[in-house]
Amino acid sequence: MNSGATAAVAQNRRTRSRPPSAASSRKSDDPSAAVANGNGKAPSKPTSPNHVAGERTVKKLRLSKALTIPEGTTVSEACRRMAARRVDAVLLTDVNGLLSGIVTDKDIATRVIAEGLRVEQTIISKIMTRSPHYVTADTLAIEALQKMVQGKFRHLPVVDNGEVIAMLDIAKCLYDAISRLEKAAEQGSALAAAVEGVERQFGSNFSAPSTLIETIRERMFKPSLSTIITESTKVAIVSPSDPVYVAAQKMRELRVNSVVITTGNLLQGIFTSKDVLMRVVAQNLSPELTLVEKVSSPD
């Protein structure tokens, strides 16, 4: 073999043995990476490394079509449209039609009414939460629930192929989670039966461990409000004669979306931020002159 052929073979061997660079070989499943690489399109079906076969995804839930309005809309008009659709959250779009923010009934109560702003003059973009968190249609339902719980919000836009296709409410995620817990409880009934069998078998000679078993059973199969409501739980209280404006201020002060209406120690009803939206603002009632007892839900 001549020297030229030998050199060509050597060069070919070096080319085949050289590992490809990370930039040229790594394929990212991050949609932002796809845009950064210049193709302008996110993967059609983004996957999560935590996905497990059989797990429910967001698209399997009963999603609600999202209400979207221009961010230049007034608060009063936005509330009328939300009331007409019977929804408590609205997505806002910019001049290019892209998602720019989200506004909920709680925002209406705490950022508008509690602040004394005029709903006819206030532009909705002034009170919106900008660049809201979102999930994709293929996100696990439990992951969406965790995101809402950790972020302390009740709504998530659902995005598919870069477009908002629906609004996910935390209630739907909770319903899915509760259904799974019910199935787990059915399976756990066998464990409860086994515990009772052990108690019957050992009788009084099993008193100490029996106390432990009873405690475990109470915690597992008989949850009480004390396991859900803690001492730090905040409750906003108003009287029936308080105006809506005062109730909204209490919601803002305690960072809650409802107040309890009482006369002395007697419960009269409950008034929520959704009531502020649907029964006050959307009906063109004055928050300063309207009493909560006139627009609240009875006990």
For the chain, the domains span 3-36, 58-173, 183-227, 237-298
Query: pLDDT value at position 123?
Result: 97
Q: What tokens appear for 178 in the block?
A: 């509760």
- Distance between CA 115 and CA 16 in Å, rounded? 69
Fold of 237-298: CBS domain Like (3.90.1280)
Q: Which pTM value belongs to this model? A: 0.66
Query: pLDDT value at position 57?
Result: 86
Alpha-carbon separation of residue 189 from 87, 181, 182, 202 (angstroms): 39, 12, 11, 20
Q: Which residues contact 220 (CB under 8 A, 6 or more apart)?
A: 188, 192
CATH topology agreement for domains 58-173 and 237-298: no
Residues of the chain with pLDDT under 50: 5-50, 52-53, 206-208
Check whether domain 58-173 has CATH 3.10.580.10, yes or no: yes
Query: pLDDT value at position 56?
Result: 81
Query: pLDDT value at position 126?
Result: 97
Query: Which residue stretches of the chain are H helix?
Result: 3-17, 22-25, 31-36, 75-85, 105-107, 141-151, 170-202, 207-221, 244-254, 273-275, 292-295
